[in-house]
Structure 1
Amino acid sequence: MTVLCAFAIGTSNLPSIVTADDNAADYVELPIDEYDREHWAFLPIEQVKVPQPSNAGWRQNAIDDFVQFELGRRGLQPQPEASRRTLIRRLSFDLTGLPPTPTQIAEFESDKRTDAYERLVDRLLDSPRHGERWAQHWLDLARFAETDGFEHDKLRPNAWKYRDWVIAALNDDMPYDQFIRLQIAGDETDPDDGSALTATRFCLSGPDMPDINLIDERRHTVLNELTSTIGEVFLGLQVGCAQCHDHKYDPISQADFYRLRAIFEPSVPLKKNRSLSTLSESFPSAHSSHVMLRGDFRSPGPELSPGAIRVVSSKTHAYSPKPSNKSAGLRTALADWLVDAENPLTARVMVNRVWQHHFGAGLSSTPSDFGVMGSEPSHPELLDWLASSFVKQGWSLKSLHRMIVTSATYRQRSRLDKNATDSERDAWAEAQKADPHAQLFSRYPRWRLEGEAIRDAMLVASGQINWKSGGPGVRPPLPKELVGTLLVNQWNVTEDRSEHDRRSIYVFARRNLRYPIFEVFDRPSANTSCSRRDISTTAPQSLHLLNSQFSLNLARSMAESIAKDHPTDAQRVDAIFLRSFSRLPTPEERIDVQDFLNASPSTNAEKLAHLCLALFNSNEFVTVD
């Protein structure tokens, strides 16, 4: 029996399918109707009119108009601007993942120019450390690692080149539409550019089992993982839920999933015992594409043609490959479709991700699920205004960063000032009651540093950090008991000891073993795309910061460098606090520290080292106000 499957797309004229072989069960794809398209994320991005709050004295840019308008509707007031010390620490960690130095703090505090804050923002965005910071956010999404995973977790020798490509692209402010194009179709669009080929490692960065006996099973698993990641990262949709059956909640059919998968099928070269690398199209393709019934690679259903997700498509926003004599143009067409002005998702999703990393949560709190079961945005008009502005500004991520961090919303205090007036205390209490999680941005939400930033902050504070950029991942020493769990040669310590103090983004990313401080502070496993890390509070975190050889060594290095540069105890204590907290100790803290130094029977060097270690273990060291 041959089954004809009509794949209607509302009023769209996009290609439909197709036939099933005689052994396939019947499969009928439901059409997309207008109700399906009425979900907020599938509607076109609106050209929003900026509201005009009654009190314009607080605002710095249009972001504040949206936020203040929403606060005003609830009878709430925003917080005043934070102190300069708080702002430089917040900005430095946010934009570069590093604490400010005492010299940088002093320079910012003494800068009397009216645009001192904006100059600080520009300096941090122009720093090469900016790309190193924000690349980690993207690598979480890309499920980046330098090994395959699974039992043998074999090395992928050139995987690090993708990490370096991401860092360079973000530092150069590569337009986000180009950033997408190269990662999906760099080998098609720029065939003579080696870095464009490297960019396609995004697609094949997921886990793999190269030694599996059934190559068809491996192909099925790799392609399904790739397709799911494309949907999550660029569209903010859980398309992977449609691998085995039509999506239970969103208007995404099983055929939608396998049409999207078909775009990549000719470009995933698999060889037994060979790790995944870059995309390479086999043209013309020898493979036909099918719906895999019940998600089983042994049960091909109706044959289908490559295509994009129907609910995001229309007559004027259609997936349209343009074949050449060298390529079918499938992935180039997908990239064009993703960054088309009529695509309602791509800009919204990325703007929401950037907002999330500046404020701890996105305007939608489900950054990789804009579907029916995801969270609606707290400020939908602001999200659309930002998305529209993002595209108009040439998809510039640095312009988006600059707009967000120069807003009054971002500059707010995160806690009540101890010298606050009664009216300020009343406003604070009301905001905490009505906006307990700061989702309305009645204050700046405090957030905890990731494990990578904590390690980098310790290296900077101790004066031990090695600023070398790029290259294969380095392998600092591991505890012996951890090495004993690995196979032979899975963590050969880098011989050059100076390499051990490189920034955390350059630490070797093994899929089956996370570097200890990263693991205890919730680094994802890299087996799936991670849009938002867990934030746990556990005993191993404090135990690691207090007892690890890494912490103790850096505390001693910090104490030695400070003792060398400062002759008196008072100066040394000030220097330790400045390096750790970006502030001087309070009078009460000075008394406590002096009592500690006087009571300890250790040598001066050991006393200072234990003070440094204590500050590494404080909540203030790992928290950004």
Structure 2
Amino acid sequence: MIPRPIEHYIRWFFAISYATFFTAISPAGEPPTIGPAETQMIEEPEISKYDRDHWSFMPITAPPIPQVDDFSWAKTSIDRFVLASLESEGIRPADAANRSTLVRRLYWDLIGLPPTAEQARQFVQDDSPNAYDRLVDELLASPHHAQHAALAWLDLARFAETDGFEHDKIRPSAWRYRDWVIRALGNDLPYDTFIQWQIAGDELEPDNEEAQLATAFCVSGPDMPDINLIDERRHVLLNEMTSTVGSVVMALQFGCAQCHDHKYDAISQADFYRLRAFFDRSLNLKQNKSVTTLTSIQNDRPSRLMNRGDFRSPGPVVHAAYPRLLNANSDSPSDGAGQRAALAKWLTSSDHPLTARVIVNRVWQQHFGRGLVTTPSDFGVMSDEPSHPELLDHLASELIANDWSLKWLHRTIVRSQVYQLCSRPPADAANSDGVSHWQHALENDPENRLLARYPRRRLTGEAIRDGMLLVSDSLESTMGGPGFKPPLPAELLKTLLKGQWKITEDPAEHQRRSVYLFARRNLRYPFFATFDRPSADQPCACRNESTTAVQSLTLFNSQTSLDVSERLADRVLSVGPSRPEQIDELFWRLFARSPGEKERTMAIDFLRSQTVLIESQDIDYQKRHASRLAMVDLCRGLLNSNAFVYID
């Protein structure tokens, strides 16, 4: 596959070459046209009942909560839907996870940070019946929850603080959109309003600066402000914007219909340009200047279908209209101002079949690593079938009934018994039934689509970095403002133009949460790139999760790891001279539990042998600090372990 930045260059190259060719052969310097665009007829296939006969296009209903045999196991409606599927296949769910596992899972999952040693001990020792629910509410109310949850949306919004392409110029105010997303999620802005503002905040609430700022979602993708042909720039931006709204909000790949009718879904090329027409008067473009938000402008030019998707070949006039596939009643927005507002309201109406289903699936994916539909940005006919279709509709209808509250949705999911299952087989050999049930589930549902166990998953690069800072008491909690720029390797700085990465002067800024680290489109921060952070050239619905040697080498040898390990070692040594107490403190900080006897013995043996080894070196500093340096090495090793970088 061609790397994304090169794809962009190729796309622009062919567009410019095409335009240059037709300009050269046209006597008037204009590309040839097929005929008067105003009189051209649009030919497109009719939408049939068969086209709409697909699970994701059906109205959202509230299905009955199923009956189950093991009624006492199910704590919530989610459990009933999942257990019914398991029982139909003769599979029993795994045992419940222990409290150490649960507290660590909850913290990482809801705020993107591990619990402190004190927080973990407090939860493990709290046997009150409402301790778990109380912790869930506490974490959802934390500002850290919004900072963590924002990352998933910023992936979808293809957020970056630069334009991309060759010059990759900085967008000075781009960070304001990132801060808006964090505030909106922290305040639990209803999801329907969250979407409406990002599409048409300036039209819906013209006096609300927050609503205006939210429209940056539409223009957060790559741009080339210095291109000579402003019409080409407008065309590319509008197409990218339309494709993004289609895939992110509705999980339909509208972008496939830019040049021709969609090959699989009942979306014609005219459907694409009708959707694009909602945004046609929303871009106020200026040469060499980034566009930051949507702004309705006076523009008498009619919207057109572009033949073969080329901006130099305008076709028939099109008017803003909702996609026919999802508009069986043939509703239509009024002409003139406020069309984007009408689109935003149509997308978030309670009878829209996709919007609620799509966000429920995305939030489910955040907690289980995979959605109920494993193609989160494609709910079309080529999508994966939902593993639990009734559960998806149940949560979608309940989300709407609960004022589109995303915190309600997070809370409902993590309070379920399904979320609290073990991710590993029983360690107790005496538990023969548990081992047997685990093996049966593994054989009959190896991909765990039916959710008989909790799926282990690796932390993101941002979470690993933030967690390393937190366990070493180094995390700086300042929120908001322009992104900070930490030091980069000299060899990377050489690849940038002069002045493109001016290191933030205050060293304390370098310890802030990763969501605030400056997001350059053409250069992902190396630590994040190593752990599969996506580029910001297009919406990312599901990050890759690779396992490479470079990841281990980074965790062992990067400057970040070395600095964190030294600070962590000093914190651990400060508890006193007792090695067992030091080991206990280290395990509680990293893994939210005490070490097992074998682990404690191995750690003490390592410290003893490593101290002897360091003392044998003919370096005076190492001899004098051998005990501390051995602890630093132990910290580096444990930070690199699966027990730290995976959520059980």
The two structures have a TM-score, normalised by structure 2, of: 0.91
Q: Deviations over 1:131-189 (max 9, x none)?
A: 00000000000000000001100000010000010011111111000001111111111
Q: Is 1:486 equivalent to 2:464 in the alignment?
A: no
Please point out which of 266, 291, 298 is paired with 2:305.
Answer: 291
In structure 1, the partner of 2:322 is: 308
Q: Which position in structure 1 is the counterpart of 2:449?
A: 439
Which ranges of structure 2 fall in alignment gaps of 5 or more residues?
A: 1-33, 615-625
Whether 2:89 is the aligned partner of 1:80: answer: no
Q: How far apart are residue 22 of structure 1 and its match? A: 5.5
Alpha-carbon distance between aligned partners in 1 of 2:228 and 2:175, rounded to the nearest angstrom: 28
Q: 1:20 to 1:535 in 2, by over 3 A?
A: farther
Tell me whether 1:471 sits opposite 2:484 in the alignment.
no
Q: Bigger shift: 84-93 or 585-594?
A: 585-594
Answer yes or no: is the 8 Å Cα contact 2:37–2:316 preserved in 1: no
- Counterparts in 2 of 1:310 and 1:22: CA distance versus 1, 3 Å: closer
Distance 2:42 2:576 in 1: 77
1:135-534 maps to which residues of 2 (within 5 A)?
135-283=150-298, 285-315=299-329, 318-321=331-334, 323=336, 328-419=337-428, 421-534=431-544
Q: Report Cα offsets for 1:296-351 as digits up to 9, x if no partner.
A: 11111110101121111122x7242375xxxx101100011001111100000000
Give the residue type in structure 2 aligned to 1:346: T
Q: How much has 1:575 moved relative to structure 2?
A: 1.2
Q: Matched residue of 2:166: which SS? A: coil
Residue 216 and residue 142 in structure 1: after superposition, are their counterparts in 2 closer, same or farther (change >3 A)? same
Q: Deviations over 1:182-207 (max 9, x none)?
A: 11111111111211111000000000
State the distance in 2 between where 1:436 and 1:523 align. 27
Q: Secondary structure at the match of 2:144?
A: helix
Matches within 5 A, 1:476-625: 476-600=486-610, 601-602=613-614, 603-625=626-648
2:315 maps to amino acid: G
> Which residue of structure 2 lines up, in the alignment, with residue 71 of structure 1?
86
Determine helix, strand or coil for the equivalent of 1:201. Answer: helix
- C-alpha displacement at 1:25, in angstroms? 7.6
Q: Determine the C-alpha separation between the residues in 2 that align with 1:222 and 1:85.
A: 49
Partners of 1:482 and 1:417 lie apart in 2 by 47
Give the Å deviation of 1:549.
1.1
Aligned-pair CA distance for 1:54:
1.2
The one-letter code of the counterpart of 1:65 is R
Q: Which residue of 2 aligns with 1:15?
A: none
1:96–1:132 Cα contact (<8 Å) kept: yes
Distance 2:553 2:495 in 1: 20
SS in 2 for 1:537: coil
TM-score by length of 1: 0.94
Give the AA of the match of 2:591. F
| Equivalent residue runs for 1:91-106 within 5 Å | 91-106=106-121
Deviation at 1:106, TM superposition (A): 1.4
Give the equivalent residue in structure 1 for 2:10: none
Whole-angstrom distance in 1 between the partners of 2:591 and 2:350:
45
Deviation at 1:516, TM superposition (A): 1.0
Deviation, structure 1 residue 423: 1.2
CA distance in 1, matches of 2:578, 2:331: 71
Task: Give the secondary structure class of the aligned counterpart of 1:302.
Answer: strand
- Whole-Å separation in 1 of the counterparts to 2:399 and 2:600: 48
Contact 2:320 2:333 in 1 (8 A): no
Task: Identify the range of structure 1 (65-74 vs 593-602) with the bigger mean alpha-carbon deviation.
Answer: 593-602
Q: Secondary structure at the match of 2:543?
A: coil
Contact 2:161–2:175 (CA under 8 A) maintained in structure 1: yes
Residues 337-391 of structure 1 deviation map (CA, whole Å, 9 limit, x = unaligned): 0011111000000000000111010000000000011101011111011100000
How big is the shift at 1:23? 10
Q: How big is the shift at 1:417?
A: 2.1
Cα deviation, residue 263, structure 1: 0.4
Residue 63 of structure 1 aligns to a residue whose secondary structure is helix
- Give SS of 2:281's match: helix
Displacement of 1:567 = 2.9
Q: In structure 2, what is the Cα distance between the partners aligned to 1:310 and 1:620?
A: 50
Q: Distance in 1 between matches of 2:531 and 2:222?
A: 22
Change (3 A) 1:583 1:207: same
Distance change (3 Å), C-alpha of 1:294 and 1:71: same
Secondary structure of the equivalent of 1:301?
strand
Identity %: 53
SS in 1 for 2:91: coil
Pick closer, same or farther for the CA change 1:612–1:319 going to 2, 3 Å. Answer: farther
Partner Cα separation in structure 1 for residue 538 and residue 103 of structure 2:
34
Match of 2:60 among 21, 39, 45: 45
Name the aligned partner's letter for residue 414 of structure 1: S
Relative distance call for 1:225 and 1:308 in structure 2 (3 A) is same
Q: Distance in 1 between matches of 2:410 and 2:271?
A: 34
- Asked if 2 retains the 8 angstrom alpha-carbon contact of 1:24 and 1:301, the reply is no
Amino acid of the residue matched to residue 374 of structure 2? Answer: S
The 8 Å contact of residues 43 and 344 in structure 1, kept in 2 or not, is answered as yes
Contact 2:575 2:581 in 1 (8 A): no
* CA pair 80-46 structure 1, distance change in 2 beyond 3 A: same
Give the whole-Å Cα distance in 2 for the aligned partners of 1:67 and 1:273.
54
Distance 1:293 1:24, change over 3 A: farther
Structure 1 residue 495, shift from structure 2 partner: 0.1
Letter of the aligned partner of 2:189 in structure 1?
M
> Quick one: structure 1 residues 252 and 590, their matched pair in 2 at CA, closer, same or farther if it must change by over 3 Å?
same
Pick closer, same or farther for the CA change 1:571–1:341 going to 2, 3 Å.
Answer: same
Q: Give 1:114's aligned residue.
A: 129
Residue type at the aligned position of 1:616: L
Contact 1:450 1:522 in 2 (8 A): yes
Q: Check conservation: 1:90, 1:624, Cα contact below 8 A.
A: yes
CA separation of 1:23/1:121 partners in 2, compared to 1, >3 Å: closer, same or farther? Answer: closer
Q: Which amino acid aligns with 1:223?
A: L
Deviations 1:241-290 (A, max 9, x none): 0000000000000000000101001011111100120100014x322111
DSSP 3-state at the match of 1:259 = helix
